[in-house]
A = this chain, B = another copy of it.
Amino acid sequence: MSRDSSETKSRILNATWKLLESGDNAVRMSDIAKAVGISRQALYLHYPNRADLLVATTKHIDTAKNIDARLERSRSARTGGERLDAFIEAWGGYIPEIHGISVALRAMRHTDREAAEAWDGRMQAVRHGCAAAVRAIAGEGRLPPGLTPERATDLLWMLLSVENWERLVRDCGWSQADYEKEIKALARAELVVTP
């Protein structure tokens, strides 16, 4: 046979991605194998367990969707307020892209340490983005009195959670544009004062 191992790997990742994206909240190893056209056992030859496969899929999506470039834009914003807006656009706009896999990863959180760490790591990266936006606002002295940068970061991080996106966009039926608009308004109302 001697098919290319790395080519099979990427076919696995794409199939996993597609299945998760389809919203079927019960993507089993056998479903993925069937979609790729290999046996369930062959899957384990490439990825030792489900958590590893999901984590690899996350990285795959990050590369394909070029998350780094998206976040880059927010780093070059002039004012703190603009930086806040740009970060909300970048991350908030990325949430729908990774929603399928985020559901799967969070569902494993409680039983699988590896999955939990992968998800937490991702969330910490978002938190760093929040902290940077808050620093930019604080640097201009526009953080409300009585709100420490630390606490402002926590609040922004909370606002930008995937769960909040789910609630507004999926449960309440908001459009992505409305979501971004209102979250920006909420963040500005609480974190930025006009002196």
* Number of chain A residues whose Cβ lies closer than 8 Å to a Cβ of chain B: 24
A190–B155 CA distance with the chains assembled, in angstroms: 14
Cβ-based interface call for A167 (8 A): yes
The reply on A189 being an interface residue by CB < 8 A is: yes
* Chain-B contact segment, one of A71-79, A90-98, A131-139, A158-166: A158-166
Contacts of A182 in B (CB 8 A): 151, 155
Assembly CA distance A189 to B186 (angstroms):
8
A156-194 vs B, Cβ < 8 Å mask (1 yes, 0 no) = 011001011001100010100010001001100110000
Answer yes or no: A67 CB below 8 A from chain B CBs: no
Residue of chain B at shortest CB distance from A157: B167
Q: Which residues of B contact A110 (CB under 8 A)?
A: 25-26, 103, 107
Q: Is the CB of A186 within 8 A of B26?
A: no
What are 5 A-B contacts defined by CB distance under 8 Å? A26-B110, A157-B172, A163-B163, A163-B164, A186-B189
